[in-house]
Structure 1
């Protein structure tokens, strides 16, 4: 597949676009709710945890370490500062378990990247903890297919403008592929790039947003197997 004067650079999100991630958070939320079952209902515990996560994003950023700290904070709040040390220890243990979870790539991830590599500049654009994202990329076996890797604190218009200018020919000749409308689609389009939404069955509530269906730069596919047709369309 050869590049043309239109599309030259393709950015890919990592978590829940190339490999599963959110399901490990959901399982941990269930374990966390079980630890505090004597103090509140599961729904209330999860809702308060979500609020703590949102509140702490600007301090801890995205990723498992910030999530673990938010669990501890929530446990302290729910128990009115009487949370047993044993529960804190178990929260830290489940956080460590998450940092060691296996990497399970999503359907068509490898073959799609292999088909595009060499013909386009491929850039992994992901947010979260540096060490954890590097671990998952190495474990996925996909790292060699990317021309560049950008692990960022957040995904904004400025983020995409900077990355697509640094590693490509600017946003107008670039595409972002990801599962989050809020992080992967809206800011990429606002920067002037194309954006392809690949929905995942599980998406963190914070990442929910209405897709820009009327925007000419927006596309949606059911899985990564549909990406090559869109790339061919935009590269013609």
Structure 2
């Protein structure tokens, strides 16, 4: 199946290490801070709407998320938010950035095996500084020939990446947890992809496939199962 592969790309967040869990924890803390103004459900809805609205401005990552939390808090408090509460929101973001990098199980084993046969790269979304910091903390940089932090992951962006790497679509394999960002666009340009779901998925990344489409996607229970395909 993967006889022609030259480059194996890995998504980072929730493929190599834990990420989305920390956003859910931050949302819980944020809702608790604003509980005097609105219900948790309403706070979650408004924060999601504002975060999505701001993606073209701030991009993905913690810093943009913090700015969206502050904007949401100002809106829900009718611009009466006390300064100490703003400081607490900023601290939520700092705590997220300072979280230790928790590698998912068997990641190092898989990278050890594949790095002997293929060129490995990281292809991820997010804030450049934050992703570079996490890669440093992870001690995984030694495995990767190239790190690409993308503002979006669609077919056009993957085509540009393949041109930069000078590989054909048939020579490229993407491994990631998001159907929307890591799998469907890659299959759309006739490359290969392996889906490894994480137990928590951001609503913005959720995609529901019909039965026919599901049969076209290789889905594994965990990253260790990748080794059974090579």
Q: TM-score, normalised by structure 1?
A: 0.92
SS of the residue corresponding to residue 39 of structure 1 reads coil
SS of the residue corresponding to residue 167 of structure 2 reads coil
Q: Which residue among 13, 28, 31 is the counterpart of 1:30?
A: 28
Q: Would you say the 8 A contact 1:160–1:171 is kept in 2? A: no
- Runs of 5+ consecutive residues of structure 2 not aligned to the other structure: none
Counterpart in the other structure of 2:49: 51
C-alpha distance after superposition, 1:202-228 (max 9, x if no partner):
111100012476457621000001112
Counterpart in the other structure of 1:130: 128
Q: Would you say the 8 A contact 1:10–1:176 is kept in 2? A: yes
SS of the residue corresponding to residue 38 of structure 1 reads coil
Q: CA deviation at 1:121?
A: 1.1
Q: CA deviation at 1:43?
A: 1.2
- 2:82 aligned with 1:84, yes or no? yes
Pairwise mapping of residues 186-225 of structure 1 onto structure 2 (< 5 A)?
186-211=184-209, 214=212, 218-225=217-224
Q: CA RMSD in A?
A: 1.5
What CA distance in whole angstroms lies between the structure 2 residues aligned with 1:47 and 1:171? 39
Q: CA deviation at 1:168?
A: 4.8
Q: CA deviation at 1:167?
A: 2.0
C-alpha distance after superposition, 1:115-156 (max 9, x if no partner):
000311111001111110001011111110011110111111
SS of the residue corresponding to residue 166 of structure 1 reads helix
Counterpart in the other structure of 1:21: 19
Q: CA deviation at 1:26?
A: 0.7
SS of the residue corresponding to residue 15 of structure 1 reads coil
| Corresponding residue pairs, total | 228
SS of the residue corresponding to residue 46 of structure 2 reads helix
- Runs of 5+ consecutive residues of structure 1 not aligned to the other structure: none
Q: TM-score, normalised by structure 2?
A: 0.95
Counterpart in the other structure of 1:160: 158
The range that moved more, 24-33 or 156-165, is 156-165
What CA distance in whole angstroms lies between the structure 2 residues aligned with 1:102 and 1:137? 11
Q: CA deviation at 1:159?
A: 1.5
